[in-house]
Amino acid sequence: MINKIMTADQAVAGVQDGMTIMVGGFLGTGSPEVLMDALVRKGVKHLTVIGNDGGLAAGQPAGEFGGKTARGIGKLLEHHMVDHIIASHIGVNPMINEQVAEGTLHYTLVPQGTLAEKIRAAAYGLGGVLTPTGVATPMETELDELGRQKKVVEIEGKKYLFELPLFADYSFIRASVADKFGNYYCSKATKNFNYVMAGASKHTIIAPEKIVEIGEIDPDYFGVAGVLVEGIVEGEKKWQI
């Protein structure tokens, strides 16, 4: 029987300089920290990173619940491992605007709902999606993440942007509970991009907080099919504040 359980270092061993990766999470909530830490240990550079935002820097969010370390994609930014970030929001983690100003990072902004659908299109075999989001805004005229002009399609008098699928080499996902086949679910508001990113990359790696035996929990709880998952990494912990 195939064994998908591996260490975080084994899971990121194939990540090369210049690759494109997707990382689940929303301002760090639901990001796979053990996989980010392993990428930092590996020291891979010039990544293109797809995620909702740039995670958090150490101390964010401000106030009593701020994190002791950087979080999610924030760890990759802290170590200057990212050349291009494709995200819906880049204003929270200050490292993004700093590195953009230094000229070492560039960004492509994609509206949040569009970002999810572009990723979902890649995972589920669609040639793209038509969305009303972004019509008559800079999203209509600016080039997309690969420098392509967007098409505007008019259907029954209503305009839509034709948004193309967004693929990557690796999807790095945080699950709350997974079985040893890779079926998983994400608790509460940690789902965010952790469901659509499965299967949108050549390799899908999950870091569950808890790994159970096959058949141990009711399969109806699972949100994503383990058939999409190549690697299951142990050691992810509940976020500590």
Q: What does the binding site for other proteins look like in residue numbers (CB under 8 A)?
A: 26-30, 52-53, 56, 60-61, 64-65, 87-92, 97, 100, 107, 109, 111-117, 120, 131-139, 176, 186-196, 223, 238-239, 241
Query: Residues 181, 214: contact at Cβ < 8 Å?
Result: yes
Shortest spacing between CB 37 and other proteins, in angstroms: 18
Integer Cα distance of 193 and 198 in angstroms: 9
Shortest spacing between CB 124 and other proteins, in angstroms: 10
Shortest spacing between CB 230 and other proteins, in angstroms: 20
Largest CA distance in the chain: 55
* Residue 22: closest CA among 204, 191, 182: 204
Integer Cα distance of 41 and 196 in angstroms: 27
Q: Where are the alpha helices (DSSP H) in the chain?
A: 8-11, 33-42, 73-78, 94-102, 112-123, 138-141
Integer Cα distance of 153 and 131 in angstroms: 9
* Beta strands 158-163; 5-6: pairing state: unpaired
Of 15 and 198, which CB lies nearer to other proteins in the complex structure? 198
Shortest spacing between CB 50 and other proteins, in angstroms: 12
Integer Cα distance of 10 and 35 in angstroms: 10
Of 78 and 163, which CB lies nearer to other proteins in the complex structure? 163
Shortest spacing between CB 117 and other proteins, in angstroms: 7
Of 12 and 54, which CB lies nearer to other proteins in the complex structure? 54
Of 45 and 89, which CB lies nearer to other proteins in the complex structure? 89
Of 6 and 92, which CB lies nearer to other proteins in the complex structure? 92
